[in-house]
């Protein structure tokens, strides 16, 4: 399990660096949540899903904005609040990095039987649920 986690961190670092050379690995997870959140999301929602505190999330988002990957926009439902969303460049880079990650994984699992991949997905989902409880 420790080896799997180390390899996962290594892959995350590689993907983050493919997005931008100075991007930290954790930022990929933040971008993923923004991407999967729809058009724009609240920073507090991202912080809750990642388990990061408000100040850490603020620093992550500031770095992503400085790199031109996200932008802050006004919340149409609350003029006082701000939302974050991917810039066009951020979306393009993220999609390219996500596809590279998927291609890499497909290549690694090419010799596996479909039932083995299904079993892995089911068990990883179960593990995720157990760890998240």
pLDDT in tens, the chain (133 residues): 889 888 888 887 888 888 888 888 778 888 888 988 777 888 888 888 888 888 888 888 999 999 999 999 988 888 788 899 999 999 999 899 889 888 988 999 999 999 999 999 999 999 988 887 5
SS3 content of the chain, % helix, strand, coil (to 5): 70, 15, 20
pLDDT at 92: 93
pLDDT at 100: 86
Q: How far apart are CA 80 and CA 60, in angstroms?
A: 21
Q: How far apart are CA 101 and CA 106, in angstroms?
A: 9
pLDDT at 133: 56
Q: Which stretches of 1-133 are assigned E, i.e. beta strand?
A: 41-42, 70-75, 78-86
| Length of the chain, in residues | 133
Evaluate whether 5 touches 13 at the Cβ level (below 8 Å): no
């Amino acid at each position: 399990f420790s080896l799997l986690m180390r390899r996962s961190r290594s892959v995350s670092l590689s993907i983050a660096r493919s997005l931008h050379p100075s991007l930290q690995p954790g930022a990929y997870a933040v971008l993923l949540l923004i991407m999967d959140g729809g058009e724009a999301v609240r920073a507090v929602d991202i912080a809750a899903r990642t388990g990061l505190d408000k100040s850490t999330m603020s620093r992550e988002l500031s770095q992503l904005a400085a790199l031109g990957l996200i932008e802050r926009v006004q919340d149409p439902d609350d003029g006082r609040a701000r939302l974050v969303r991917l810039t066009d460049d951020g979306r393009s880079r993220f999609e390219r990095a996500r596809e590279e990650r998927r291609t890499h994984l497909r290549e690694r699992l090419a010799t596996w039987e479909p039932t083995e991949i299904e079993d892995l997905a089911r068990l990883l989902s179960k593990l995720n649920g157990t760890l998240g409880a």
